[in-house]
């Protein structure tokens, strides 16, 4: 299924493709929100603000969703600000980030172990149709970049385990400890500043606000991947609404209809 949101939208000018990683290519970290959100609700509840768990969850879900696609640190900064707003004394956001990563890694360690040992087929941990789409784009000569809000050391290893790094001639970029020194927006501006490509030659794929918004801002074409993780067989309405809200040109649940998607984008 391909939902066209802007009549006449196309990527015939595209020469560069920017992909998000988690939820767009990889589902290794599927379920990360079920780790992050309860942890944050727990920390906010400790401030004894008088709000119910449901009220705190609504607050957390809003900012976690809004910041999905940016470096994880931004979600932790927002958490610290919310703790302070409620009279608490927050830790450094890096403390919260490490707490979250410890909990997440406990959840996904068996998935990584199966991939490292060769017991799992890498395609089992990818959005369906990913490799076929990457092959199509590569055959068309698009220069591809992979960028993620996940820490570079983790994201790079996960991309290697899935076997997708060779597709991304432009590079593979994850979050850095110095979170202000790199972002998807900075990457796009660097590529444009190199004079190799202009903004309208960008084609962006992502399941979060950030990559869609950043590509749209420079005049590129965007495909919102509203994948219902981990199976990614149908559209996740929560993701769909947010992707529509930041101007996605197309919405897909996965890339199984990659031939039709390519035709829609480039015909």
Q: For the chain, give every domain's residue range.
A: 3-27+126-266, 33-117
DSSP 3-state percent helix, strand, coil across the chain (nearest 5):
50, 15, 35
Which of the 8 DSSP states describes residue 234?
A: S
Alpha-carbon distances of 243 from 5, 10, 224, 247, rounded to whole Å? 11, 17, 6, 7
Residue 183 pLDDT exceeds 90: no
R_g of the chain, CA atoms, integer Å: 18
Lowest mean pLDDT across 186-195, 220-229, 236-245: 186-195
115 contact partners, CB below 8 Å, separation of at least 6: 28, 122, 125, 161, 162
Parallel, antiparallel or unpaired: strands 143-151 and 171-175: parallel
The predicted pLDDT at position 178 comes to 77
Q: Per-residue DSSP letters for 51-71?
A: --HHHHHHHHHHHHHHHBTB-
Asked if 100 and 37 touch (Cβ cutoff 8 Å), the reply is no
| CA separation for the pair 148, 155 (Å, rounded) | 7
* Two structure tokens written together for 91: 């830790």
Residue 177 pLDDT exceeds 80: no
The predicted pLDDT at position 182 comes to 74
Residue 101 pLDDT exceeds 80: yes
| CA separation for the pair 174, 62 (Å, rounded) | 23
- What sign does the dihedral 22-28-34-36 (CA atoms) show? negative
Name the band, by pLDDT with cuts 50, 70 and 90, for residue 176: confident
Name the band, by pLDDT with cuts 50, 70 and 90, for residue 187: confident
Q: Which CATH architecture has domain 3-27+126-266?
A: 3-Layer(aba) Sandwich (3.40)
- For residue range 217-240, what is the model confidence (pLDDT) as tens digits? 999 999 999 999 999 999 999 899
The predicted pLDDT at position 218 comes to 92
| Max Cα-Cα span within the chain | 57
Phi, psi of 149 (to 5 degrees): -85, -5
H-assigned helices in the chain: 33-45, 53-67, 72-85, 93-117, 130-139, 152-162, 184-193, 209-217, 237-245, 258-266
Global pTM reads 0.89
């Amino acid at each position: 299924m391909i939902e066209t949101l802007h009549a006449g939208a196309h990527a015939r000018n595209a020469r560069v493709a920017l992909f998000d990683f988690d939820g767009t290519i990889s589902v290794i970290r599927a379920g990360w929100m079920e780790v992050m959100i309860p942890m944050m609700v727990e920390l906010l509840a400790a401030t004894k603000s008088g709000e119910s768990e449901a009220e705190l969850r609504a607050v957390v879900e809003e900012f976690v969703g809004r910041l999905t696609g940016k470096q994880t640190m931004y979600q932790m900064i927002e958490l610290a600000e919310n703790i302070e707003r409620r009279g608490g004394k927050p830790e450094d956001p890096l403390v919260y980030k490490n707490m979250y990563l410890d909990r997440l890694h406990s959840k996904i360690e068996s998935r990584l172990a199966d991939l490292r040992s060769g017991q799992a087929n890498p395609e089992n941990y990818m959005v369906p149709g990913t490799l076929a789409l990457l092959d199509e784009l590569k055959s068309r000569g698009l220069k591809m970049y992979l960028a993620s809000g996940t820490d570079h050391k983790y994201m790079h290893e996960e991309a290697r385990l899935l076997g997708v790094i060779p597709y991304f001639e432009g590079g593979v970029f994850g979050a850095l400890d110095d979170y202000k020194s790199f972002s998807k927006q900075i990457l796009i501006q660097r590529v444009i500043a190199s004079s190799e490509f202009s903004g309208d030659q960008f084609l962006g794929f992502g399941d979060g606000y950030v990559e869609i918004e950043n590509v749209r801002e420079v005049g590129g074409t965007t495909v919102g991947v509203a994948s219902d993780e981990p199976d990614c067989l149908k559209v996740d309405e929560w993701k769909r609404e947010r992707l529509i809200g930041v101007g996605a040109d197309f919405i897909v649940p996965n890339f199984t209809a990659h031939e039709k998607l390519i035709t829609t984008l480039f015909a």
